[in-house]
Structure 1
Amino acid sequence: MPVRASDDVLRHLCRARDHADRHYDQPLDLEQLAAVAGISKYHFQRLFTATYGMSPAEHLSRRRVERAQDLLRATNLTVTEVCMAVGFSSLGSFSTRFSELVGVSPSEFRRRYADGAPRIPGCYLFMAGLAERYPPAESASEEKPSGMARA
């Protein structure tokens, strides 16, 4: 019998999906997403898959590949830099998943779809990313914000 989520549970699932969409570049696992939804991880897995037609891991993987496509089209980052920037920890798994979803390798995708447009230098992206996450401290004596270290 298919699992049907109530409106209340759908809000919780949506909260977890939105969290994954916002934090796609960070290591996320089933337990973390289930905790955001406030549901046990096994129940969360079943409800998420029944509701969205894919597992939480597949959703996260697709989100990462979508962002990688944007970066490959618009930046001068290497494929390895893009892989790491979108949250994959292995170039091999990134290339395999990218090829499965897009139909071509990341390098081939860049050749086909970058259209020779001027690319945003990667250093600007990394600076902008750091500036968004960690605003400058008002004084040098202040402590660093919690969560500065990334695993």
Structure 2
Amino acid sequence: MPPRKDHHDQPLVPASAQVDAPALQDPVLLRRLLRAKDRMDAASHEAWPVKRLAGVSGVTEAHFARSFKCAFGVPPHRYLLTRRIEQAVTLLRDTGLSITEIAFATGWESLGSFGRIFRDITGQSPGAMRVQARAQASTAQLDRVPACVLKAAQRPDLTIAVLEKRRRTVEDTVLPSTREVS
């Protein structure tokens, strides 16, 4: 299907984006999505399944998941993981809480899941991140940089799913087969 054109034969919206464009132009839906996003931000340590988020937004689960990804660029679960990891990095850097206490305070149900996903996203274990963050904080004069800028710079990159990232890493480290090929 070719893109729609205005009266000057200029494409209005690419054909691939035509399906999602009306959803993003609806201010009521955007307010509802922001309401759910704000609730996740305020209580990122809580469980936020799509069903609960859709209820907060007043839309169906499927519509919420599609619209949230379209509006914010990531699925709701990935957004929540990002917030939890950001909060964990802050706690690792600024508090003396143990890694276990930080894991449970940021909403993880097990220390193993926290450590594995933390490493998958940041590339470091929580302990190594704590050492690095404290070393950087002691050498840099970060008191002049606004906190919002620091958080944005330290935000984990979750443009791909954690499992996909882990799969790609494993594929890069797998040794070649020892079978002879003739």
Q: Same fold (TM over 0.5)?
A: yes
Indicate the residue corresponding to 2:52 in structure 1.
32
| Residues paired across the two proteins, number | 117
Q: Where does residue 107 of structure 2 map in the other structure?
A: 87
In structure 2, stretches of 5+ residues that fail to align are 1-15, 139-182
In the TM superposition, residue 101 of structure 1 has moved relative to its aligned partner by: 2.1
C-alpha RMSD of matched pairs (Å): 1.5
Partner of 1:18: 38
Matched, 1:54 2:79: no
Deviation at 1:70, TM superposition (A): 0.5
**Percentage of identical aligned residues:** 36
TM-score by length of 1: 0.72
User: Which secondary structure state, in structure 1, belongs to the residue aligned with residue 86 of structure 2?
Assistant: helix
- Aligned-pair CA distance for 1:100: 2.2
Q: Distance in 2 between matches of 1:52 and 1:101?
A: 19
What TM-score comes out, normalization by structure 2 length?
Answer: 0.61
The one-letter amino acid paired with 1:3 is D
For structure 1, the 5+ residue unaligned runs are 118-151
What does residue 12 of structure 2 align with? none
Pick aligned residue for 1:7 from 23, 27, 33: 27
Residue 68 (structure 1) aligned to one of 88, 93, 109: 88
Give the 5 Å matches for 1:92-107: 92-107=112-127
Query: Whole-Å Cα distance in 2 between the matches of residues 88 and 28 of structure 1?
Result: 12
Equivalent-residue separation in structure 1 for 2:88 and 2:30 (angstroms): 28
SS at match of 1:24: coil
Larger CA Rg, structure 1 vs 2? 2
What's the counterpart of residue 129 of structure 2?
109
State the alpha-carbon separation in 2 of the partners of residues 38 and 73 from structure 1: 38
| Larger RCO (alpha carbons 8 Å, 6+ apart) | 1
